Amino acid sequence: MIENMVDPISSSGGTDTEVLAVVLQVREGSLQVLLWERAQEPHANRWSLPGGRLGPEEDVETSIRRQLAEKVDVRKLAHVEQLAVFSAPDRVPGPRVIASAFLGLIPCDVDPEVPEDTAWYPVDTPPVTAFDHEAIIHRARGRLRAKLSYTNLGFALAPPEFTISALRQLYSAALGYRVAATNLQRVLSRRGLLEPIGRTTQPGPAGGRPAALFRFTGHGMVVTDPFAVLRPPSNA
């Protein structure tokens, strides 16, 4: 289900509408975005967000899911929401195109199959992108970081079961700074977002105390503390 959905601006007077998806996932310890390499001009060989023109009989929800399924085979999104409408007259060369952009999140334990012209890149160091797509990526990163403060959206980045240490690593990667595990557990538990599952991890080769496993109590986005802000430590 797409959150915060609004109708896109209709094409009229020579203006087209496209849908774009900023698909984010924590991979190899960093927040990464899914991009595909353009084969044609304009901006051939630059990297682009997946998406395409809005079909004449499609709403934006249907269109963005079709575009993702056809172009990058991403069907395991844990969360999708509309990000913003980008409407600068000169955002693309030629006739005006208005973009309705979406944020999509994939849990870290999923590895979607993608074609050869598609790859994951860290959001902080993307390749040269087409048009205004880097600005759209930054907007999506900011939206995610904000919502991790005041909603339960961490569920969309996490696997079904996890240790607090593993969850800390996910939040740290998404927020861009190191998060304290004890503080994160305290905040999320106080909001009723975490619950122990009654099992622990298997001891590693070096032994040590097994870590308790947790899960999120819900898997639909809800606002838990509208005034909360997660901030980096003062020495970060």
pLDDT digits (tens, 9 = 90+) for 20-61: 999 999 999 999 999 999 999 999 999 999 999 988 889 988
* pLDDT band, residue 4 (cuts 50/70/90): very low
pLDDT higher at 74 or 121: 121
State the Cα–Cα distance between residues 124 and 132, nearest whole angstrom.
16
Question: Which long-range contacts does 107-111 make (Cβ < 8 Å, 24+ apart)?
Answer: 107/25, 107/76, 107/78, 107/156, 107/157, 107/158, 107/159, 108/25, 108/26, 108/27, 108/157, 108/158, 108/159, 108/170, 109/159, 109/160, 110/25, 110/76
The boundaries of every CATH 1.10.10.10 domain in the chain are 151-216
Cα(223)–Cα(149) distance, integer angstroms? 9
What is the spatial distance between Cα 148 and Cα 232, in angstroms, rounded to a whole number? 13
Q: Model-level pTM?
A: 0.89
| CATH fold for domain 151-216 | Arc Repressor Mutant, subunit A (1.10.10)
3 state DSSP class of 180: coil
Q: What is the CATH number of domain 9-147?
A: 3.90.79.10
Domain(s) of CATH 3.90.79.10: residues in the chain: 9-147
**Which helix (H) or strand (E) covers residue 166, if one does?**
helix 164-175
Residues 201, 193 contacting (CB under 8 angstroms): no
What pLDDT score was predicted for residue 14? 67
Q: How confident is the model at residue 236 (pLDDT cuts 50, 70, 90)?
A: low
Integer Cα distance of 209 and 161 in angstroms? 18
Find residue 143's DSSP bridge partners.
none
